[in-house]
Structure 1
Amino acid sequence: MLIALVAGALTWSAPAQAHGTVVDPASRAYQCWKDWGSKHMDPAMQTQDPMCWQAFQANADTMWNWMSALRDGLGGQFQAQTPNGNLCSNNLSRNASLNVPGRWKTTAVTDDFTVHLHDQASHGADYFKVYVSKQGFDPRTQSLGWGDLDFLTQTGSFAPAKDITFPVRTSGYTGHHVLFVIWQASHLDQAYMWCSDVDFG
């Protein structure tokens, strides 16, 4: 019994696959791991960061595996294969807590900012597609759907690298918004989707 428990603990804490995520503005799972990974048992999380607390309660593996929110073989059919309300989890049931509306911690941005992907495996990118939630959409009370998004840009390709950055230009946004980024990795047909919470000052 003890051996089984130890094995389960090791499985829980080990990353499933080494890939990457948007680290700035931090994706929801990455923000929770960065802020609370080393103190995930701290009861203060419930009051100081309730959205991360509910995510850890739902499935702590979502945060430990912040780098592995991928799906294979979508063939670019992101909208057809990802139902409304499931965008932030990349339609992965294990990451459903990332879809929950609420007061997620935000990263302050200006109209023009830089997106930073950290890719542990240096896969490169065919492209990134970047969206932001429409003015008037409230991430604290509404689940994100495709109709809630404004398309901002699609990048070109990037060579394999551990860190990729690219500029994003916006105008007319104020307050709390969801930045939605799709990464089409270049080594295989693997699609990653993340939500980052930003505050346009």
Structure 2
Amino acid sequence: MMLSVVPAHAHGAPTDPPSRAFLCSPGQPTASSPPCRDAISAGLPSKEWDNIRLANVRGQDRQKVPDGRLCSAGLPKYTGLDAPSAEWPATLLKDTGFTYRATIPHQGSFRFYVTRAGYQPARSLTWADLDQFLSVPSPPLVNGAYEFQVQLPKNLTGRHLIYTVWQNTDTPDTYYSCTDVELAAPAPPPAQAQQAPAVAPPVRAAPKTTRSAPSSEPSAPVTTTARQSTPRPVPVASSAEQPPSDATRFGMAAVVAALGGLAVLGGFMLWRKRIL
């Protein structure tokens, strides 16, 4: 008869990322943080970090758990976990793997909520602050824990709170947990190489002729890759190469005739002077 008896209640809570109750449990370095010390002073049974549960909720979480008391599920001894504070230790999420440790495993389903954009940890947590982002019915138990791959909303960054509800199906109990997290901004996509615009081939300009002053020193020969044409000399008319024109011959004849006439006239004048 005793061998057939199963535990009356399941126990469990998130351990990665860890819940507030787990962070305040004995042996955790965060148990000495101001919020944990205050919660323990307010009556938190730190050794029962896995036992925040209500019976006979049957999915009516919003009706059974009042605003401002979500982390304690309305249980007086856990009320220190509801304290609004930005000093609660927050876990920087580096991957999408979540672990929920089941110290007394049972069948059940999980619902995960996360605070909306603009969440302020210094204000009391209400149901209106939460959005459900994942529901997992009856996950398998692996090495004493339930493991999940979660995908948080991509528009959330900075400080947030994840609210976990574990509703048993083989017991009347439902468990509640608050987990403070820090969501890093998504990495920017790698920059794509921009295609360089096509560049038209350069237009080769005609060589420019520069007139420079003559220099007494010989200049060094200039080497150029551009092919330059050598101007041809323009032929100039020469008297040695071409015969004189008709006008030129007529003028020369007139000059010769005039000189001859002057010579005859001079001879005639000289002869007459001798006679007289």
* Displacement of 1:115: 1.9
Q: Are 1:150 and 2:143 counterparts? A: no
The answer to whether the Cα contact below 8 Å between 2:12 and 2:100 also exists between their aligned partners in 1 is yes
Are the counterparts in 2 of residues 84 and 145 from structure 1 also a CA contact under 8 Å?
yes
| C-alpha deviation, 1:160, in angstroms | 5.3
Letter in 1 for 2:56: G
Instruction: Output the CA distance in 1 between the equivalents of 2:89 and 2:147.
Output: 22
| 1:167 paired to 2:149 | yes
Instruction: Find the residue that maps to 1:123 and give its secondary structure.
Output: coil
Secondary structure of 1:120's counterpart equals strand
Q: 1:68 and 2:54 equivalent?
A: no
Amino acid at match of 2:16: D
Is the 8 Å Cα contact of residues 124 and 160 (structure 1) preserved in structure 2? no
Contact 1:18 / 1:67 at 8 angstroms: preserved in 2? Answer: no
Q: Retained in 2: the 8 A contact 1:105–1:197?
A: yes
After TM superposition, give the deviation of residue 36 of structure 1 in Å.
4.9
Counterparts of 1:176 and 1:93 in 2: how far apart (Å)? 27
One-letter identity of the residue aligned with 1:51: P
Post-superposition Cα deviations, 1:84-128, rounded to whole Å, max 9, x if no partner, equal: 001111111110000001110011115x51221111112132x11
Q: Aligned partners of 1:136, 1:35: CA distance in 2, in Å? A: 30
Residues 1:78 and 2:74 are matched in the alignment: no
2:179 aligned counterpart, secondary structure: strand
After superposition, the C-alpha distances for 1:126-162 in whole angstroms (9 at most, x for unaligned) are x1110101111111x1111000011111112124562
Structure 1 position 60, deviation (Å): 3.9
Q: Any residues of structure 2 matched to 1:108-187 within 5 Å, and which?
A: 108-110=92-94, 113-125=96-108, 127-139=109-121, 141-159=122-140, 162-170=144-152, 171-187=154-170
TM-score normalised by the chain length of structure 2: 0.59
The structural deviation recorded for 1:18 is: 6.4
1:190 match: 173
Change (3 A) 1:60 1:36: farther
5+ long unaligned stretches in structure 1: 1-16
Conserved? CA contact 1:128–1:183, under 8 Å: yes
Q: The residue matched to 1:169 in structure 2 has which SS?
A: coil
- Higher-Rg structure is 2
Task: Report the Cα distance in structure 2 between the residues aligned to 1:185 and 1:36, rounded to whole angstroms.
Answer: 31
Measure the CA separation in 2 of the matches of 1:199 and 1:163. Answer: 23
In 2, Cα distance between equivalents of 1:180 and 1:89? 11
SS at structure 1 position matched to 2:114: strand
Q: Per the alignment, in what secondary structure is the counterpart of residue 129 of structure 1?
A: strand
Tell whether the 8 Å contact from 2:110 to 2:164 is kept in structure 1 after alignment.
yes
Task: Indicate whether 1:35 and 2:28 are aligned.
Answer: yes
Q: 1:20 aligns with which of 12, 30, 35?
A: 12
The letter of the residue matching 1:187 is D
Q: Percent identity?
A: 30
Matched length: 172
Q: Distance in 2 between matches of 1:80 and 1:195?
A: 18
